[in-house]
Structure 1
Amino acid sequence: MAVYILSNRKIIRHKGEKEDSFSNDEYSIPNFRIAKCNFENHKETTTQAKKKKDYTNRKILDYQLFSEPEKQGYEEVLEVLLNEKGLKKSNLTANNLGGSQKMFYELYKNISSTKVRSDVLIFIHGYAYSFDDELKAIIDLKKLFIDNPESPIEHILFVSWPASRSLIPMTYFDDKASSINSGTSLVRLFYFYTQFLKDIFSHKDLKPCNQHIHLMTHSLGNRVLQSMLYSLKRENILRVIDQVLLLNADVSYKVFDDAEDSFNKLPLLANRVSIYLNRKDAILGISQFTKNILTPRLGKNGPSNIEHFKDIVSIVDCTYIENDLKNTFKFEFGNHWGYLSSSQAQSDIFQTLNGIDRNLITNRTKNNEYTFTINYQ
């Protein structure tokens, strides 16, 4: 099990500390830095400790920033792997690797050493998250996707981008700009990943691991994905993702249209795309009527037209789910966090991640060839 943070937040050194940390500041840097979370000695924090002003950063969850690699590319990763297999002599070890080299090396080693499901989930969070909020979200995601036996997920790559700390409406515009900047940084990481695959699997003695990589985006995190897709050239896209889950997406309902040239690239990238929407989503209602010139949102209204993607793209209507796991005012009124608040939504998501045929997923009503409704219970 491993959880990584991929962040374009500023790097700072807190007073009295010996290690660099990610900042809560709402500013981004051009490139993503990578850190690995330490759950080995992690303990649940008491309510009393959470109320203290020092309940921040590593007090929430410990993590270790990877050093930057001395050389770009993945030739040294290949050299280390071949040396470990006794196929090539080298003085290089895993300790010589940094950044994405180290992360990809560790993931490849972990998921290729087992025959059971050991999938990877890339998660992009939404609007109004400080870095401290992200660390709390990582703890929740580990419980939900790694600790749960219904889930095939064993590893998480959490994409941290500098959203605003406040829910004050005007911060939405700052987050929107930041999400766009973060998407252009993320596209570079995607190209690094495809280059890693080409370099590693070009060698006949290194085999693909036959595990799955999934992508899940929530709310304004879909804008990060959209920005990345804008920058991806179709001829450079490889189908390296199994399931893409778009949760309560705060992007235009026209993103699958050819004129948008963004989400219509997803069928080139993934085996299946699932749009989870809620027609009672109050947060997306506010977004539509106050910030997006009355443009319907994908996660509330669904796409304008996906007829030519109907074999790959599914619409999952969560309007009638029950918030039985979290029923505070935020979740009951907002109807925006079904993946956290509803056991029905979670069950559907787990079945999707497990690759069950969309027509065989339980507790669904089929409306047409590609549209389903999660039943009210």
Structure 2
Amino acid sequence: MLFITNRIPEEGIKTEIGRSFTFDLFNADCSKSVFYCERKSNGSITEIGSAALLKKVKEAEYKQILLYIHGFANQPADIFKAAQEFQSLCDKAKRKEVLVIPLIWPCSDENSIASNYWDDQKSADASGYAYSRVIQKFIEWRNSKDNDPELDPCLKRINVLAHSMGNRVYRETLYNWNYYDLADGVPLIFRNSFLVAADVVNETLEPGQKGEHICNASRNVVVYYASDDLALRASKGANLKNKIASRRLGHSGPEDLTLVPKNVFSVDCDDVNTQYDYPKGHTYFRSGTRKGQPGVVFNHIFEVLLTGRVPDKTGLINTSILEPARTTSKKTTRKKRTKSKK
């Protein structure tokens, strides 16, 4: 599995192509540098560098790329497990369609969620500087003469799935990229941006807010939310302590759909989130009630990936409601044979 990280390895921050790469689990500091790596099936990791990673992505048989940005209190082993689960579901749905590439940012471990939640927000903000450099490097590579953009262009579609506080990393990445590297706003580079259980304020996608760049950089922005998400309920309490009273985007969807761009879609997951992730109802975008079997949220995401369009089954503008999958039992009816009387 290919991945990109700004976590500092035990081997030090100086990039060396071909070296072994070991996560320092006791160091959650953010590096300004990023490391482009490949993880083998046996768990060993090698730093391969940006040029090799981009070449591997270009040469891969997959048609689309999905950049996966994890949430807070996630350690590398958990992130790889989650990414592999999503990759397996994608391969089962359609082979060689979507390649999942995790972006691993530094955060605290799960044993100290309450005390380190605010520190993770700071790490998410700081990681935006590092990942804005990743996007800029990709644009430079895409337009480079060495890449033969005219003779041999890279035509893979790029999508982003940000979960929980990963949405803060995504938002800060585009904000910093626009602020430091661009003159006329962010270009349209992503086909779809999936914002799942987003731990950011629910006005963030409105024009003039930090998250507006997500809308400008994406063809579709799909927000998945659930009002009984217990992890976000705790998040709201932590933010109230720091005098931030706004509801979270992953709790209510956008504050006002009439104020966000028309490419923003809001999907209510109240009926399925706790079924898929009991009791927290926070991680509901992969498997459904059975591990390895897709849930309706995954199916919705994958349909958008395949078509580039967001299905609307409610008749409401830019709003959908996901319901649990229902199994239909087929009743067999036997026709009675009647003898014809002559």
Pick the aligned partner of 2:129 from 175, 178, 184. Answer: 184
Partner of 2:54: 104
Query: Is residue 95 of structure 2 the alignment partner of residue 166 of structure 1?
Result: no
Offset at residue 353 of structure 1 (A): 1.1
User: What is the distance in 2 between the residues matched to 1:356 and 1:239?
Assistant: 14
- Aligned pair 1:63/2:45, yes or no? yes
Q: Alpha-carbon deviation of 1:352?
A: 1.3
TM-score (norm 2): 0.81
Q: Distance in 2 between matches of 1:314 and 1:344?
A: 16
Alignment of 1:222-371 (within 5 A): 222-233=167-178, 235=184, 237-260=186-209, 262-292=210-240, 293-307=244-258, 309-321=260-272, 326=276, 331-342=277-288, 343-355=295-307, 357-359=309-311, 365-371=313-319
Give 1:317 deviation, angstroms: 0.8
Q: 1:367 Cα deviation (Å)?
A: 4.9
AA in 1 matched with 2:76: F
- What is the aligned partner in structure 1 of residue 151 from structure 2? 206
Mark the CA change 1:217 to 1:151 in structure 2 (over 3 Å): closer, same or farther.
farther
Q: Indicate conservation of the 8 Å contact 1:151/1:350, yes or no.
A: no
CA offset digits 1:123-159 (Å, max 9, x no partner): 00001012232233333233233x3234764422210
Cα deviations by residue, 1:56-108 (Å, 9 ceiling, x for unpaired): xxxxx222112xxxxxxxxxxxxxxxxxxxxxxxxxxxxxxxx2111112212
Deviation digits for residues 19-76 of structure 1, max 9, x if unmatched? 332221212211110111223xx5xxxxxxxxxxxxxxxxxx222112xxxxxxxxxx
- The code of the aligned residue for 1:104 comes to L
Distance apart, 1:200 and its partner CA: 4.5
3-state secondary structure, aligned to 1:189: helix
Residue 188 of structure 1 and its aligned partner are, at CA, apart by: 0.7
Q: Distance in 2 between matches of 1:254 and 1:241?
A: 21
| Partner in structure 2 of residue 220 of structure 1 | 165
Q: Aligned partners of 1:150 and 1:212: how far apart in 2? A: 16
Matched, 1:34 2:36: yes
Letter in 2 for 1:132: A
- Unpaired stretches in structure 2, ≥5 consecutive residues: 13-18, 289-294, 327-342
What does the per-residue CA deviation read over 1:151-186, in whole Å, with 9 as the maximum and x for residues that have no partner? 764422210011101243111011111111111110
The question of whether the paired residues in 2 share the 8 Å contact of 1:222 and 1:250 is answered with yes
Q: In terms of Rg, which structure is larger?
A: 2
**Mapping for residues 65-80 of structure 1, pairs under 5 Å:** 65-66=47-48
After TM superposition, the score normalised by the length of structure 1 is 0.74
Query: Displacement of 1:13 after TM fit?
Result: 4.1
Q: Indicate how the Cα distance of structure 1 residues 7 and 357 shifts in structure 2: closer, same or farther if over 3 A, else same.
A: closer
- Aligned residue for 1:246, secondary structure, equals strand
The residue that corresponds to 2:81 in the other structure is 136
2:3 to 2, 5, 17: 5
Q: How many Å apart are 1:227 and its aligned residue?
A: 1.2
Cα displacement (A) at 1:373? 0.5
Pick closer, same or farther for the CA change 1:8–1:212 going to 2, 3 Å. Answer: same
Deviations along 1:238-271, one digit per CA (max 9) or x if unpaired, are 21111110000000011012332x2211232111
Q: 1:303, 1:296 → 2: CA distance?
A: 10
Change (3 A) 1:243 1:356: closer
> What do you get for the CA RMSD once the two structures are aligned?
2.4
Q: Quote how far apart the aligned CAs of 1:209 are.
A: 3.8
Distance 1:190 1:296, change over 3 A: same
Q: 1:151 to 1:225 in 2, by over 3 A?
A: farther
Shift of 1:340: 2.7
Partner of 1:48: none
Sort the Cα spacing of 1:205 and 1:287 in 2 relative to 1 into closer, same or farther, 3 A.
closer
Give distance in 1, aligned partners of 2:96 and 2:58. 17
Change (3 A) 1:142 1:63: farther
Task: Write the letter of the residue equivalent to 2:302.
Answer: F
4+ runs deviating over 6 angstroms: none
Distance 1:276 1:204, change over 3 A: closer
Aligned length: 304
Residue 127 and residue 153 in structure 1: after superposition, are their counterparts in 2 closer, same or farther (change >3 A)?
Answer: farther
Take 1:322 and 1:122, find their aligned partners in 2: how far apart are those partners? 22
Point out the more displaced range, 100-109 or 214-223: 100-109
